[in-house]
Structure formats: C-alpha cells, structure tokens
Amino acid sequence: MNNYPLISLIIPCYNAEQTLEKCLNSVIQQSYNNLEIIIVDDGSTDGSSKIYEEFQRKDNRIEIFRQDNYGVSKARNKGVKAAIGEYICFVDSDDWVETNYCSELYNLLITENADIAIIEASYEDEIGNVIFNKPISSEKVFDGKRALVLLLEDKFIQSHPWGKLYKATFLKNVSFPEDLKCFEDYSTLFKIFDKAVKVVRSDEKLYHYLQHADSLSHNLSPKTAYYFYLAIMDVFKFCQSTTQLKNQENITKNIIRKLLMVLKRILRNTTKEEMQLEKEKIRQSFKSFLKYHLKDIGLEYWLYLRLYYYYPNLYAKLISKNDK
C-alpha cells in the first residue's frame, strides 16, 4: 500500500494521557499504512508527551510538534501547515478509530472521484456505551452544494473535522479560528465544503467519539455559549453572501433555533449586569432576522426575535420565569 498516496493524519493533543494510548494504537494499526501521523501537543502538562514519544520511537511515521496552550484551532492549523500528504484527515486524541478508518475513507473518495469522503461515528461515553444515535441519510453521493446544505442544516452531516477525508488543497487556504475556544469547527467546515464539487459518505461507524460529561461543548457556560453565538453568526454571514443554496428557509430556521438556545443559556445563567456587551451584541444582530416572514420561520421564532430585539428586559424576565 506504499504505492498509495500519502494521507496526513492530524491529532491535536492536550492533556490526553488517559486516552492517548488507545488513540495512537488505533492509528498506527491502520490497514492503510502510507500515513504521515502528525501529533500537535497544545501545551500538555500531564504525561501525554511520554506516551507519544514512546510511540514515535517505534513508528517513524509519527511527527511531533509542540506549542504553548493556544487551543485546538491553532493546533489543527499547525498540523495542516506541516502536512505534506495529498489528503488530510483528523482524529482527536480522546477518540479512537477502527483499523479500516483511512482505507474506507480513501476508497470512498477514489471510487466516486469525490473531494470529501465521510464515515459515521459511534457516540460513546467514557466506558464505551453508545449514548446517542444521530439520524443517518439514505443518500450516499452528493453534489457539493447539496452536501453544503446538509452541513448547514446540521442534521445528516455535522461540522466535525474528524470522520472525513479531504483533498489537502481544500484546507491549505482555510484556517480554524484561533480566537474561539470552542465551536471553532462549526465556523470552519462550511468554508471547506463550499469548495467541494462532489462528496461521498458511508454508513459504517468507524470513528469512536468520546463524549465527556464535562466537555465545554456539552456544558454551555455563558461564555462558552457566546463563543457558539460567534460561530453561528459566521455561518449566517456566509449564508447571506451566497444565493446558490437550496432550502434556505430550513437553514435559517436552524440558525435562529441555535441563536435562541444560546441566548436562553446566557440569560438564565447571568445577572442583569453580567455580559452586558455580549447581550447587546446578540440583540443588535437579531435585527438581521426581522426581515424573515412569519410563514418562513414560524410564529414562535418570529415572536421571540421581535420580543428580544424590542423588549430585551421583558424577554429576559419571561425566560427566567419559564425556568422555574
């Protein structure tokens, strides 16, 4: 298989000593062995370095890069910049993959002459129990615009960088936002998918995604929720800039749903004096959504947008009461 093109497999790593060994074992045992395995240590302070250094001594495909704790975006960006493979894929250091992870992605992509290949994931807790089954589309091959719509609808295709194989050229001019501490993938993947002419996917669950009970994305603090707001608005600005997307109404409704969820999380977990600038920025951004007709977004969203834009204090009181 050394005659096959090189795949750069990028692993951002931060304080992953509990999961890193399982992750790396699954990576080095890939049936597709023409791999460049790039580990980017984002300032780990635990025993992660001992683990990946031991693996490097046994496998010369592993390259190690270190940086201060700047976050996963900078780690991924550094990995992409260093990658020399024709294709790029990602694995997070607390997850693991089946031995045919890379080979299935590559075969999918080559068989269909596609730009991006996708496999499914098993969403598991820390002891391996499946805790979530996401909807799976019956579609297997998409033109680029159809795949982009499904990504933006966030139902059948999610904005995770992992579980996908990309032509390396698609990532070379796209950066994960380094000012976001989380949800950086949500504001990035649509930029990559926007370049694709053809996307292909498989139902096989070859990626094991570990969902930590205390992860940032699953425990939205007000500050974390605000990062999500910024990412959501990146998606909205993109949607406003293009007229080539079908199902704009569904995409817009999904964006509004998430904005209201973020706003609710912030209002219910802060005092009136806290995060005033952030709350006002959210309120002002709602003005862009007032142009949508009731028949397009539904009565509930239509009312909530106006209520918070024109009467933010009343909306905050109603949200607080509904929480009791």
Residue of 256 and 172 predicted with greater confidence: 256
Per-residue model confidence (pLDDT) at position 92: 97
Asked if residue 324 has pLDDT above 50, the reply is no
pLDDT in tens, 262-290: 999 999 999 999 999 999 999 999 999 99
Name the least confident of 95-109, 127-141, 211-225, 302-316: 211-225
**Per-chain mean pLDDT for the chain:** 92
- 215 pLDDT band, cuts 50/70/90, is low
Per-residue model confidence (pLDDT) at position 321: 65
Per-residue model confidence (pLDDT) at position 241: 86
- 130 pLDDT band, cuts 50/70/90, is confident
Per-residue model confidence (pLDDT) at position 323: 55
The sign one gets for the Cα dihedral 210, 37, 79, 113 is negative
The pairing of beta strand 7-13 with beta strand 35-42: parallel
Q: What is the pTM of this model?
A: 0.91
Q: How far apart are CA 200 and CA 139, in angstroms?
A: 9
- 69 pLDDT band, cuts 50/70/90, is very high
Asked if residue 106 has pLDDT above 70, the reply is yes
Contacts of 10 (CB under 8 A, 6+ apart): 38, 40, 76, 79, 80, 83, 88, 89, 90, 91
What mean pLDDT do residues 202-222 have? Answer: 79
Candidates 152, 114, 119, 149; CA nearest to 136 is 119
Candidates 265, 220, 245; CA nearest to 153 is 245
Asked if residue 218 has pLDDT above 60, the reply is no
Residue 150 to residues 36, 155, 245, 298, Cα–Cα distance (Å): 30, 7, 10, 21
Q: Are 257 and 305 in contact (CB under 8 A)?
A: no
Per-residue model confidence (pLDDT) at position 322: 63
| Fold classified for 7-210 | Spore Coat Polysaccharide Biosynthesis Protein SpsA; Chain A (3.90.550)
Name the least confident of 2-11, 36-45, 211-220, 267-276: 211-220
The interaxial angle of helices 276-285 and 299-310, nearest 10 deg, is 130
- Domain boundaries in the chain? 7-210, 222-322
What mean pLDDT do residues 81-106 have? Answer: 98
Per-residue model confidence (pLDDT) at position 279: 97
- 243 pLDDT band, cuts 50/70/90, is low
